């Protein structure tokens, strides 16, 4: 309750002016450093982000970025396999890592006085990783099992994978982060080392430290641990194959006997947030909220409450992406409603929205929610660390991140309509039906 | 008429026994040589085939294989730009080149006593090409104009391009041979030279000489011109990313105001001819003939003659492909018939065929036509040269090419049904509608 009140009180102040104490600098070897001070508890989050994700892989070795992420928990010259995480845990901390299309990131959350320790270990595995064939065989089984669990066992996950492959005609966002199974099965030591040697270097990394940390002390530690690692002079420019014009509306039907709840989803190719030019992405962010964000959203109102055609609807857009991303819609039909009927109803709502535009009060309510959300988010140093790390690996700057809340607030109804007319173009879309197989009579 | 009679007379003899005099050997540097003797006229076809096509390109430089094919007509150390073709023409010959997914080939047809001349020039440009930035700028305009003519000006070509991109989720066959326009516009000298240096080498090439040529003399000339070129020790293994399981049926609708005749087409992912294992591909070859090859084919009979739903139908399959290929169907509806009706009618015919199987007499007639066709084809040394060159760049051997006619003849009705049930799986298919835009009332 106190938080809600605080949100209301600050809602009139420009949001950018409220930015945390964020310090940003670059080491001589090209490694960027972001320090987010939050001294309320003697804890730090230490993250290293590499500007290298699955979309930076070579063709034919899908999954190698994520595979390498696993392998970074094997040994180095001075650390035995598993010793990294064991050391963090022994010191009362936790650690993990994650891989996406545009980045791979490693993090630890630990007592502030252990920053030196984790930084030393993280810098060590940036360049001193030691892998052998046995590591490959063991860990490859692990990632294949991870694929079994997360993808093969889930019709929705398989559906999303096939759908992404249809959304992108040329870009590697069409290839799953975890990898195509047949390519994962063939991943070898050479593949992992090639990716490691090419991308793991200080001039391709961003250090983010959030929490009880003094920028001057972080700089001294960063110079001590990371500053001594030479830049990789052969780091390739980051230019992935871009999409050609998408000229033909696409559809797919995925049938799986394990599907109990069918649904229809639609994705449109959409622009991402670009440095210094985030306005279109801001308009799309609001559009997604207007269409599918919560109980008062247009799709929710029309399809769940009025016609009761749907039991669930959604609209999503995240502009956090280095290259073109998607604007996504989903409608889960009520019992007895076919996917064709659900889809037609969804399209009717879109058509109506494109004619009438957003309700002014609704738009204001969403902006106010976004302001409140922004305040809440700032309460969590780890989530801020993640926000900056993701942004800096996806082509944005610290200034872009700090400008974003005000850019969202400045979006007008006409901006949203322009963005909607641009993006909701069926020629750039994939419509998917997830359903159980037809019953043969 | 005499030809038809001849075809009938030979129809009982095993076709393999009738193979032309084909000589095959390999030079010490790894260059393969195929000589097809046909001494009826004092003319030779001289071809060099590279095991490198558009599907061997790096991501982001689509079109570079074809671009380089154009650039090979620029100068070398000893030939001025354009001098190659001018010299061929001055000697009464003709020359050209072509690029596909799996190969790039150069050929000349010329008086037999000029073989030494063209071989010398072809060997020269295999390694001595000299290109500068001016060549790139000029020729890049030429290939972009070629794309304008062949693709941008043709709704059908644009449709096929978008459809191929949907057919392949991972393999580079989804990228057009001529290239995506935005990538063609960025092709540079470095891209062309990288492809040239990597792939243009005797150990990645096949020489085919067909016509009035003695194998011993061809060998001597080949050793003189090509044998002196060192093999490229860095030639990469030819392993492209393969398809993951295709699990979801796909559809697309391409609308273009220039479309006057709409149609529906369907392509299924299908296996290619593999060395020593061509039986499935043979069954699919016959299946395409049964369904859509000529006036007595099943689709033609049912849709053009009986229901008159279609004005044209077709079925195609060519197993000549290094990796997975497609089995294709098309139905062009009669006036007043919708694409939905045409597609439903096509699917009814397929369902019926899968239940009843082929008519025995129809199958025999097709085999007999294939035998006759085989005889006719052997009459054309240039087309034989092309057949061997394509086969050897697509993973087949001389023995595979020679075995193929008999393998086709040995296909039984059950083989066809097994192949049909395997391949005509909607989950591996893309169905496309090409049509004019909807008229807004």
Delineate the domains of chain B, giving CATH numbers in brackets: 13-225 (3.30.830.10), 250-435 (3.30.830.10)
Contact A252 B253 (CB under 8 A): no
Q: Please give the model's pTM, rounded to 2 decimal places.
A: 0.89
Assess whether pLDDT exceeds 50 at residue B14: no
Report pLDDT for A60. Answer: 96
Helix (H), strand (E) at residue A352: helix A339-356
- A interface test, pick of B155, B156, B252 with most A CB neighbours within 10 Å: B252
What are the Cα distances from residue A156, in Å, to A53, A151, A238, A429, B88? 23, 8, 31, 19, 60
Q: With an 8 Å Cβ cutoff, is B169 touching chain A? A: yes
187-246 in chain A: CB under 8 A from chain B: 239-242, 244-246
Using alpha carbons, select from B258, B246, B324 the residue that is nearest to residue B55.
B324
Contact B183 A246 (CB under 8 A): no
Specify the 3-state DSSP secondary structure of A63. coil
**Neighboring chain A residues of B163 at a CB cutoff of 8 Å:** 248
Report pLDDT for A178. Answer: 98
- What is the rounded distance in angstroms from the CA atom of residue B72 to the CA atom of residue B88? 14
Q: With an 8 Å Cβ cutoff, is B173 touching chain A? A: no
Report pLDDT for A5. Answer: 37
Q: How many residues does chain A have?
A: 441
A166, A244, A249: residue with CB nearest B182: A244
Asked if this assembly's ipTM is beyond 0.90, the reply is no
- β-strands A32-37, A205-211 pairing: parallel
Active site residues of A: 69
- B interface test, pick of A159, A244, A355, A432 with most B CB neighbours within 10 Å: A244
Assess whether pLDDT exceeds 70 at residue B185: yes
Contact A247 B254 (CB under 8 A): yes
Specify the 3-state DSSP secondary structure of A310. strand
B227-248 residue pLDDT tens:
999 999 999 999 899 999 999 9
Whether the CB-CB separation of A390 and A319 falls below 8 Å is answered with no
**B166: Cα separation from own chain's centroid:** 20
Q: Which two tokens stand for residue B388?
A: 């061997």
B183, B246, B249: residue with CB nearest A253: B249
Assess whether pLDDT exceeds 80 at residue B384: yes
A359-373 residue pLDDT tens:
999 999 999 999 998
B266-284 residue pLDDT tens:
999 999 999 999 999 999 9
**Neighboring chain B residues of A351 at a CB cutoff of 8 Å:** none
37-66 in chain B: CB under 8 A from chain A: 59-60, 62
Contact A158 B247 (CB under 8 A): yes
Q: How far is A55 from chain B (nearest CA, A)?
A: 11
Q: How far is B182 from chain A (nearest CA, A)?
A: 7
* Residues in contact with B271: Cβ distance below 8 Å, sequence separation at least 6, in sequence order: B280, B281, B284, B319, B324, B325, B423
Parts of chain A with a pLDDT under 70: 1-20, 439-441
Using alpha carbons, select from A403, A287, A386 the residue that is nearest to residue A49.
A386
Q: How far is B175 from chain A (nearest CA, A)?
A: 7
- What is the rounded distance in angstroms from the CA atom of residue B405 to the CA atom of residue B4? 18
Output the 3-class SS for chain B.
Answer: CHHHHHHHHHCCCCCHHHCCCEEEEECCCCCEEEEEECCCCCEEEEEEEECCCHHHCCCCCCCHHHHHHHHCCCCECCCCCCHHHHHHHHCCCEEEEEECCCCEEEEEEEEHHHHHHHHHHHHHHHHCECCCHHHHHHHHHHHHHHHHHHHHCCHHHHHHHHHHHHHCCCCHHHCCCCCCHHHHCCCCHHHHHHHHHHHCCHHHEEEEEEECCCHHHHHHHHHHHCCCCCCCCCCCCCCCCCCCCCCEEEEEEEECCCCCCCEEEEEEEECCCECCECHHHHHHHHHHHHHHCCCCCHHHHHHHHHCCCEEEEEEEECCCCCCCEEEEEEEEECCCCCHHHHHHHHHHHHHHHHHHCCCHHHHHHHHHHHHHHHHHHCCCHHHHHHHHHHHHHCCCCHHHHHHHHHHHHCCCHHHHHHHHHHHCCHHHEEEEEEECCCCCC
Assess whether pLDDT exceeds 90 at residue B3: no
* Residues in contact with A250: Cβ distance below 8 Å, sequence separation at least 6, in sequence order: A166, A167, A429, A430, A431, B166, B250, B251, B252
Contact A252 B254 (CB under 8 A): no
Report pLDDT for A85. Answer: 95
Assess whether pLDDT exceeds 60 at residue B6: no
A16-68 residue pLDDT tens:
444 469 999 999 999 999 999 999 999 999 999 999 999 999 999 999 999 99
Instruction: Write down the mean pLDDT value for chain B.
Output: 94
Assess whether pLDDT exceeds 50 at residue B345: yes
Using alpha carbons, select from A262, A342, A363 the residue that is nearest to residue A299.
A342
Report pLDDT for A8. Answer: 37
Q: With an 8 Å Cβ cutoff, is A254 touching chain B? A: yes
Q: With an 8 Å Cβ cutoff, is B183 touching chain A? A: yes
Mean pLDDT of B67-88: 95
Q: How far is B77 from chain A (nearest CA, A)?
A: 32
Report pLDDT for B20. Answer: 64
A169, A180, A432: residue with CB nearest B165: A169
Q: How far is B36 from chain A (nearest CA, A)?
A: 37
A60, A174, A254: residue with CB nearest B247: A254
């Amino acid at each position: 309750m106190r938080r809600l009140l605080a949100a209301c009180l600050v809602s009139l102040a420009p949001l950018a002016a409220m930015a945390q104490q964020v310090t940003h600098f670059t080491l001589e070897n090209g490694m960027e450093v972001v320090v987010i001070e939050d001294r309320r508890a003697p804890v730090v989050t230490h993250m290293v982000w590499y500007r290298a994700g699955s979309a930076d892989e070579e063709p034919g070795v899908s999954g190698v970025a994520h595979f390498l992420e696993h392998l970074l928990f094997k040994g180095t010259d001075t650390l035995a396999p598993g010793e990294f995480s064991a050391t963090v845990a022994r010191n009362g901390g936790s650690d993990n890592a994650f891989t996406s299309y545009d980045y791979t990131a490693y993090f630890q959350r630990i007592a502030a006085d252990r920053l030196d320790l984790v930084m030393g270990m993280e810098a060590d595995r940036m360049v001193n990783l030691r892998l052998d064939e046995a590591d490959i065989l063991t860990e490859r089984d692990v990632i294949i099992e991870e694929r079994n669990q997360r993808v093969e066992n889930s019709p929705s996950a398989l559906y999303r994978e096939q759908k992404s492959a249809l959304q992108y005609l040329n870009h590697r966002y069409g290839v799953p982060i975890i990898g195509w199974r047949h390519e994962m099965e063939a991943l070898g030591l050479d593949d992992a080392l090639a990716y490691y040697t090419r991308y793991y270097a200080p001039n391709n990394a961003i250090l983010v430290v959030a929490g009880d940390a003094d920028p001057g002390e972080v700089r001294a530690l960063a110079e001590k641990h990371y500053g001594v690692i030479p830049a990789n002079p052969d780091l390739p420019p980051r230019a992935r194959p871009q999409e050609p014009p998408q000229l033909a509306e696409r559809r797919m039907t995925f049938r799986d006997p394990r599907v109990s709840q069918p649904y229809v989803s639609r994705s449109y190719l959409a622009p991402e947030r670009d440095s210094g030019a985030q306005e279109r992405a801001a308009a799309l962010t609001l559009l997604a909220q207007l269409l599918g964000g919560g109980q008062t959203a247009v799709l929710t109102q029309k399809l769940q409450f009025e016609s009761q055609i749907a039991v669930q609807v959604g609209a999503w857009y995240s502009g956090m992406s280095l290259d073109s991303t998607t604007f996504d819609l989903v409608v889960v039909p009520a019992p007895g409603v076919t996917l064709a009927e659900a889809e037609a109803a969804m399209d009717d709502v879109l058509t109506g929205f494109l004619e009438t535009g957003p309700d002014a009060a609704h738009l204001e309510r969403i902006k106010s929610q976004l302001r409140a959300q922004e305040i809440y988010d700032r309460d969590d140093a780890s989530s801020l660390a993640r926000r900056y790390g993701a942004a800096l690996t996806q082509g944005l700057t610290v200034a872009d991140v700090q400008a974003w809340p005000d850019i969202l607030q400045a979006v007008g109804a006409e901006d949203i309509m322009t963005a909607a007319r641009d993006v909701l173009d069926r020629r750039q879309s994939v419509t998917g039906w997830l359903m159980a197989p037809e019953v043969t009579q």
